[in-house]
Amino acid sequence: MASKVGIIVVVLAIASIYGAMAVFHTISESHRSAALELFSPVTGSFSSLEEAYEALRTLEVLGIKKKPDVKDHTCKSVVDTLSSVSSNSKDLYHALQVNGLLTCTISKGALTDVVSRLKEAVKDATSLLDYYHSVGGLLLVKHQNSEVDVILENADGILRSIKALSQSDGRWRYSSNNPESSTYAAGLAFETISGVISLAASPVDENLIGTLKKDIVKLFDSIEKYDDGSYYFDDKHIDASGHQGLLSATSAVVRGLTKFASTSESLNIPEDKILGLARFFLGVGVPGNSKDLYYQIDALSHLENNRVSVPLILSLPATVLSLTCKDKLKVKVSTVLGSTAPPLSVKLMQVFSSGSKDASVLRQELHFDPKEAIYTLDALPEGVDIGEYIFAFEIVLSDPEHKRKFATGGRTKVPVHVTGVVKVDNAKVAVLEGDIVESEKKLVLPGKNDLSLSANHLQKLQLSFVLTTPSGKPFKPHQAFLKLRHETGVEHIFIVGNSGKHFEITLDFLGLVEKFYYLSGQYDTVLTVGDAVMENSFLQPLGSIELDLPKAPEKAPQPPPQAVNPYSRYGPKAEIAHIFRAPEKRPPQEVSFAFLGLVLVPFLGFLVGLLRLGVNLKNFPTSPVPATFAILFHGGIAAVLLLYAFFWLKLDLFTTLKTLGVIGIFLMFVGHRTLSHLASASAKLKSA
């Protein structure tokens, strides 16, 4: 049992050392430039009053001046919204928020009208957002114009109806008929409650305020934590505007909390939680969108001076110190927005080196420079050599009264790297035959070396050197490699082992013959020694060694193929010229013409033969009608032949067929007439 408890204690101790360790930086120029970039309206004016308010508030907190032309346009929009009848309490609330920053000129009559409308809205309110907007609007009017009368009559009743929406775990619901609760709503509720309290006509019932304080404390029980010591609220449900997230929920709670604390004393929130919330917002860095930036800056401005406790941030401008440059450790303590802290002293309590859990308690006080508001450690504690350390600081406030007002957070642990030059001594390379040194050469590291050794497979290569830190202690770097590269490109890398300060590697070539793929030839040697805290890390070519290895046997593994130059493999290839089909050999034109003439000769022979046979046209009809038909018949045949000639020369088949059809029908008719006439004529002749 006791041993178990002991183990748990040890584990917790280790966790507490490695936990809560990080570097937080306060608001800086990077936030300002991001704000200018994100919040400059694209079209010259903001798209809604809510966005206008977010932009103007962020710019105001960061100390950036507004442009006057934006003010005119936005003021006009504000005045329009406040005087318009159709605006609901949400629009009025946003308009009044913007007015608070821009101080547009609004007539007292308009304001009174707005106040009466908001008071009506309070009476009719049912959901949390109704209360939030209407009460918030009334509070804004009170701050902007003290002449207008803004007093809430039934403060107790309003508080009770808001309280009715709360839940037992500290969250709030948006309305009575929506069971979903959210932390963001809780933040809005606190803000509304504080508004009601400050606007109340008569002092509010103390018991009621007491139960509300208990609700806030209960909500803080559900706070979540990161390992680096930041606290935040997570919201599992989407808030009213649809923008879900840690930033919006945590920012709303911070706003509500600080506003509530400003209306009443003695709110019991532990100071490490407030400091954790500040760390959360600072740990976000510079958000990428305008809404997140607004939430971050708005929450930080509320944390800057609130009545619960003001967080003080300890930050290091530089976490890497160089022993060679004799850098001094500098520490800055300020509020979240970067303003000066109250008088205090910073003590360096412990220095843990990486990997060790124990460290002596130092209690070294840092020297304060009022001009730059920086605390400096004059000299690093003894025994701080190069390496990674965790420095534990403690802030002690000069005025004991301030202890209640400010949150310092006890011990703050910061990781620091201390770098320096590592000395390389006694570097030498030797070729050993058995145990006898055959040839030895001294090396200058880091520096140019040009070795040319030769060895065969029966010998060994030995490289050794000594590494010491600036204070003379042994040093083990992250990287100590020896690389041998063959002329074909095959590489082998070996790790140089050490014992204390002495680093040595022995390459026994007899055992490495197979690993080297039996490749003999020249090997370039490169020594690499490097570490994060070593300022003179080097990658040093040492020269070359000529290795004589035996020939590879049959089944030896082949060396891996080297990477192909991508330009040769994927580059353009040789151009291929297309080889066209050689045209057929045609006969010379004279031969063709000769045969053309020759082909026509039988036709002439035919005509001559006809004449010799004594052909006559006696049977051609003489009377006009049959003669006409006969002529048309011959004409028709001639037309068809002409059509064929055209078909060969120019026409396509379809037009030819169409025309042929026409001529054919004509020809049939005419031919039938002619031939039947001829037939009847010859029949008459026979019978006669």
- Residues near another protein (CB under 8 A): 584-587, 591-592, 595, 598-599, 601-603, 605-606, 609-610, 613-615, 637, 640-641, 644, 647-648, 653, 656, 660, 664, 671-672, 675-676, 678-679, 682
Between 477 and 636, name the residue whose CB sits nearer to another protein: 636
Cβ atoms 136, 252 nearer than 8 A: no
Between 7 and 608, name the residue whose CB sits nearer to another protein: 608
Handedness of CA 235, 241, 247, 251 (dihedral sign): negative
Q: How far is CA 12 from the centre of its chain?
A: 36
**Minimal distance, residue 681 CB to another protein, in Å:** 10
Picking from 106, 38, 118, the residue whose alpha carbon sits closest to that of residue 77 is 106
Which token pair is 31? 């936030």
Between 240 and 637, name the residue whose CB sits nearer to another protein: 637
**Minimal distance, residue 558 CB to another protein, in Å:** 58
Q: Give the C-alpha separation, 178 to 126, whole Å.
A: 12
Paired residues of 468 in beta bridges: 423, 474
Handedness of CA 403, 397, 271, 187 (dihedral sign): positive
**Minimal distance, residue 684 CB to another protein, in Å:** 13
- The helices-and-strands tally (H runs, E runs) of the chain is 19, 25
**Minimal distance, residue 674 CB to another protein, in Å:** 9
**Minimal distance, residue 578 CB to another protein, in Å:** 23
Between 563 and 611, name the residue whose CB sits nearer to another protein: 611
Between 231 and 633, name the residue whose CB sits nearer to another protein: 633
**Minimal distance, residue 630 CB to another protein, in Å:** 12
Which token pair is 133? 């907007």
Which token pair is 166? 């709360």
DSSP-assigned letter for residue 175: E
Element (H, E) at 268: none
Q: In angstroms, what CA-CA distances link 35 with 57, 67, 251, 297, 318?
A: 11, 14, 18, 10, 25
Between 606 and 620, name the residue whose CB sits nearer to another protein: 606
Between 84 and 680, name the residue whose CB sits nearer to another protein: 680
**Minimal distance, residue 585 CB to another protein, in Å:** 7
- Residue 166 CB: number of other CB atoms within 10 A? 21
Burial 171-190, CB ≥16 within 10 A → b, else e: bbbbeeeeeebbbbbbbbbb
Between 136 and 671, name the residue whose CB sits nearer to another protein: 671
Cβ atoms 310, 303 nearer than 8 A: yes
**Minimal distance, residue 656 CB to another protein, in Å:** 8
**Minimal distance, residue 570 CB to another protein, in Å:** 46
**Minimal distance, residue 579 CB to another protein, in Å:** 20
Between 15 and 657, name the residue whose CB sits nearer to another protein: 657
Picking from 191, 531, 565, the residue whose alpha carbon sits closest to that of residue 387 is 531
Cβ atoms 131, 158 nearer than 8 A: yes
- Burial classification of residue 52, based on how many CB atoms lie within 10 Å of its CB (0-12 exposed, 13-18 middle, 19 or more buried): buried
Between 519 and 663, name the residue whose CB sits nearer to another protein: 663
Helices (H), 311-401: none
